[in-house]
Amino acid sequence: FLTPAPYRGRPNAPYLIPVTVRAMAEIREEPVEKLAGALAANTAEAFGYRR
């Protein structure tokens, strides 16, 4: 998978997730907090965590 801009050319890593989430929120024209909440809920559901 491509490393998000402006980090292209470097190895992709978990510390870049916020950059990707901000870009996704901008494209979807929704608040970062709303998208991050949805991602957290989906992750918890997928891995069986309780929030």
1-51 pLDDT, tens digit per residue, is 688 888 898 999 999 999 999 999 999 999 999 999 999 999 999 998 775
pTM of full prediction above 0.85 = no
pLDDT value for 51? 59
| Closest to 23 in 3D by CA, of 6, 37, 40 | 6
Which residues have a Cβ under 8 Å from the Cβ of 41 and sit 6 or more positions away?
51
Could you tell me if 20 and 35 are in contact, meaning their C-beta atoms sit under 8 angstroms apart?
no
Instruction: Write down the pLDDT at residue 36.
Output: 96
